[in-house]
Amino acid sequence: AWKRFQAKPFETKDDFEKEVVRHVETTLARSMFNCDETAAYAAASLAFRDRLITEWNKTQQRQTFADTKRVYYLSLEFLMGRALDNAMLNVGLKDVAKDGLGDLGFRIEDIIEQEHDAALGNGGLGRLAACFLDSLASLSYPAWGYGLRYRYGIFKQEIVDGYQVEVPDYWLDFNPWEFPRHDIAVDIQFYGNIRKYQDDTGKTVVVWEGGEIVKATAYDVPIPGFDTPATNNLRLWSSKAASGEFDFQKFNNGDYESSVADQQRAETISAVLYPNDSLDRGKELRLKQQYFWVAASLYDIVRRFKKTKRAWGEFPDQVAIQLNDTHPTLAVVELQRILIDLEGLEWDEAWNIVTKTFGYTNHTVLPEALEKWSVPLFQNLLPRHLSIIYDINQTFLQSVERKNPGDRDLLQRVSIIEESQPKMVRMAYLAIVGSHKVNGVAELHSDLIKTTIFKDFVNIFGPDKFTNVTNGITPRRWLHQANPRLSALIASKLGGLAFLKDLTLLNDLEKFADDKDFKKDWAEIKHANKVRLAKHIKTTTGVTVNPSALFDIQVKRIHEYKRQQMNIFGVIHRYLTIKAMGAEERKKLAPRVSIFGGKAAPGYWMAKTIVHLVNSVGAVVNNDKDVGDLLKVIFLEDYNVSKAEIIVPASDISEHISTAGTEASGTSNMKFVLNGGLIIGTCDGANIEITREIGAENIFLFGNLSEDVEDLRHAHTYGNRDMDADLAKVFEAIKGNMFGDANSFSALVGAVENHGDYYLVSDDFHSYITTQDMVDEAYRDQDEWVSKTIISVARMGFFTSDRCINEYAESIWNIEPLVPETEG
Ligand code: 26V
């Protein structure tokens, strides 16, 4: 009977408008007379949210009734960006909303712009998690994401006098996309002691006592699939004091300060996202975040399983848990603890369940990024977990010793506990031992982890445990949403939007690569996207750029291994070349705009110096009348997901130029090519597979190969190296104060000249600048260039995150889609 009363989601423009007005006048308690853009954004979002909630509820019920296996994606980062545009497109009602908002006197673009990005991530790893959620829902997989509800996302970046300044990103003022679940609260324990005793049967029982309790409360974010009613859930945990209120005893005694302090200490756990800084290493609060989030999530997962009344042995048939990097590795230990300490299972039976449940994805080979936690810190914060880790390690090392008798070197190398001063827990090793599958994120990267950092483990567990799942991106956000005109043009040729759900359909575009009219439309859209970016550049930096110039873009976190320094040295080289040319020669040059964007971790001084150099070069070059349109250098402040949606569709060429072997995959490389840009890059990460798919003739590859890196570094250490002559001139210019006080940049120059040039900038520089010359040359032939971009887009089908999720589902999670009936 209650079905008669169920809310009916709007479908038409009029019904949408009614909903907006209702939300303005009731939910927001405002009048339509003073409904500004903020209020219109809020009301439109609430209207779509209501719509999602209906489907979200049905999806959860369907999954519960079907009693199928679910995957839980544990990630400390979800870099979601904005939700409204995505919700409108995935539900398929953006046009309805556009007309409805138009009736009410608003432009939909202005309304979309009101939303604050959900920036709960650093970069590639967090954005990958967001693309995965979109694919999981779009493919109707039963899946939940679990993360932390940070009060502050990744810091906002301002550029002041050419320097990066960090500003806190408080984003929760008004967030219509989350539902507080005050009824879902989990007590999380920290510190305390462990006590062992024998029970009546003589069995040893371990209890973890004392310490402090913090409360985890759930906030749910609906994740709509594209062109399906399936709506999944992202559950984010927020921390509060366990009492929920003041400590009344203290309060009563007039000790207000300490009673408030307790509360604040608890809330600090989910307060802020760590910005991937080497200074973050070893911070107790970071380990607290990890355990807080992992324990709450596992409690939730186990509770859901227990409702099914199944035997524990069936847990891995119902639950797959994916560890997004080592950040959630404590989940392995926590599940083992739940099974043996709380549920009374035997060690071996429990461990068998644990290892069948978990999969671990590695996202980097950089040694400085591999997580380790000091044993004393662990002992204090999580004494029971440390003792379980020791037991896991002992069992593991015993099995290694049985198969490799007497190899004590091996035991020391693979031990989960590093015998250093202090001892350290190696989280990646724990994740490997606790999982049934370990994967890298692109072919080269997966090969590298097998032959370098995890080599011993391949010998121990056999090669089948290690696999590759090449990353992907969601074409919904990164083509349809970011580049609506290109998406529409493609749809007009392919007979609809089906390619957004089966990206290999793009293949059919190839037959238009020489179609004159199609190419004209294609080129016009690229130009319009460049005009849009040029406007953004003008309003944010004041610099006028020519939209007909070649737009050369490098946007990503600033890191030495990504080599933005090589890019800016190349720009300086170009500037010097232009200055040395006569007027006639200059006329032949292709005008270029070099665009940089990205955040430097606050404590990463070298990265901040790179930001400063880019801005300083821009200040000189952009004001040099001699140079004019031939070269402009732009640093775009505060690069984030919503800015990427403007930047990515506007590139002619983008740069993915990491030292070979250092960039695990990269995902913006895929975004740029899918939007009709070409790339210049090294043989690294997914660049290699992109080349294989689109053809070597459609990409500008350069530089040394990963297999040569070790030898080159070795040569540097022994001083056997010739500094590239062009690079030497660039350094002379910097040292001659051409871009301001040379002392500011001496560390950058010194790293290459005197400190071993670890990232091989000098080795690759010649190859880099000559390849850039080839880019100029190729860009002169616009006709050919446009054909190349069309062919490349046509061949990008492989890089959808849908393909990637299907691979995980089949080879790691063993889960099936649960397709809603309406889809047939
Ligand atoms: C973390 C840290 C922390 C300490 C300072 C140095 C440092 C350097 C790198 C990292 C990154 C760790 C993991 C990560 O974000 N990996 C990225 O994952 C993407 C998705 O798989 C992939 O596309 C990127 O290539 C990879 O860098």
Residue range 459-490, pLDDT digits in tens: 999 999 999 999 999 999 999 999 999 999 99
Q: Which residue has the tokens 């238009």?
A: 512
Q: Which of 276-290, 572-586, 605-619 has the lowest mean pLDDT?
A: 276-290
Asked whether the CA dihedral 668, 674, 678, 682 is positive or negative, the reply is: positive
Label residue 248 by pLDDT band (50, 70, 90): low
Ligand 1 mean position to 123 CA, how many Å?
8
Label residue 259 by pLDDT band (50, 70, 90): confident
Q: Please tell me the predicted confidence (pLDDT) of residue 258.
A: 77
Encode pLDDT of 133-183 as tens digits. Answer: 999 999 999 999 999 999 999 999 999 999 999 999 999 989 999 999 999
* Interface predicted TM-score of the whole assembly (ipTM), two decimals: 0.98
Q: Which of 511-520, 727-736, 814-823 has the lowest mean pLDDT?
A: 814-823
Encode pLDDT of 292-350 as tens digits. Answer: 999 999 999 999 999 999 999 999 999 999 999 999 999 999 999 999 999 999 999 99
Q: Mean per-residue pLDDT for 715-722? A: 79
Q: Mean per-residue pLDDT for 378-392? A: 98
The answer, yes or no, to whether residue 244 has pLDDT greater than 70, is no
User: Degrees (nearest 5) of the Cα angle 208, 212, 218?
Assistant: 100
Give the closest residue to 54 by CA, choosing from 304, 229, 225, 181: 229
Encode pLDDT of 568-589 as tens digits. Answer: 999 999 999 999 999 888 987 8
Q: Please tell me the predicted confidence (pLDDT) of residue 257.
A: 77
The encoded tokens of residue 809 equal 């589902």
Q: Mean per-residue pLDDT for 84-103? A: 97
Question: Can you give the C-alpha Rg of the chain in angstroms?
Answer: 28
The answer, yes or no, to whether residue 700 has pLDDT greater than 50, is yes
Ligand 1 mean position to 789 CA, how many Å?
29
Give the closest residue to 132 by CA, choosing from 213, 203, 59, 232: 232
Name residues contacting ligand 1 (CB within 6 A): 123-125, 128, 276, 278, 325, 363-364, 366, 368-369, 441, 471, 663-667, 685
Ligand 1 mean position to 2 CA, how many Å?
50
Q: Mean per-residue pLDDT for 80-98? A: 97
CB-neighbour burial class of residue 711 (10 A; exposed 0-12, middle 13-18, buried 19+): exposed
**Contact criterion met (CB below 8 Å) for 413 and 406:** no
Encode pLDDT of 527-560 as tens digits. Answer: 999 999 999 999 999 999 999 999 999 999 999 9
H/E stretch holding 417 = strand 417-418
pTM for the model: 0.97
The answer, yes or no, to whether residue 730 has pLDDT greater than 90, is yes
Q: Please tell me the predicted confidence (pLDDT) of residue 824.
A: 41
Give the residue, out of 77, 79, 122, 125, with the most ligand 1 atoms within 8 A of its beta carbon, to mutate for a pocket test.
Answer: 125
Instruction: Give backbone dihedrals phi and psi of 219, rounded to 5 degrees, phi first.
Output: -125, 125
The encoded tokens of residue 195 equal 């006590």
Q: Please tell me the predicted confidence (pLDDT) of residue 246.
A: 52
Label residue 822 by pLDDT band (50, 70, 90): low
Q: Please tell me the predicted confidence (pLDDT) of residue 6.
A: 72
Distance, in Å, from the CA atom of 692 to the CA atom of 684, rounded to the nearest integer, reads 12
The answer, yes or no, to whether residue 245 has pLDDT greater than 90, is no
Label residue 719 by pLDDT band (50, 70, 90): confident
Q: Mean per-residue pLDDT for 253-280? A: 86
First to last CA, the chain: 26
Q: How far is CA 712 from CA 175, 507, 706, 707, 770, in A?
A: 51, 40, 10, 10, 20
Q: Which of 581-590, 594-603, 618-627 has the lowest mean pLDDT?
A: 581-590
Distance, in Å, from the CA atom of 435 to the CA atom of 751, rounded to the nearest integer, reads 39
Q: Which residue has the tokens 């006590």?
A: 195
667 is catalytic: yes
Beta strands at 417-418 and 319-324: parallel, antiparallel or unpaired: unpaired
Ligand 1 mean position to 364 CA, how many Å?
5
From 671, 716, 788, 795, active-site residue: 671
Q: Mean per-residue pLDDT for 746-764? A: 95
Mind listing the domains of the chain with CATH numbers? 546-793 (3.40.50.2000)
Label residue 282 by pLDDT band (50, 70, 90): confident
Average pLDDT along the chain: 95
What residues contact 118, with CB distance under 8 A and at least 6 apart?
78, 79, 80, 81, 82, 83, 153, 171, 175, 177
Give the residue, out of 131, 276, 283, with the most ligand 1 atoms within 8 A of its beta carbon, to mutate for a pocket test.
Answer: 276
Distance, in Å, from the CA atom of 477 to the CA atom of 226, rounded to the nearest integer, reads 10
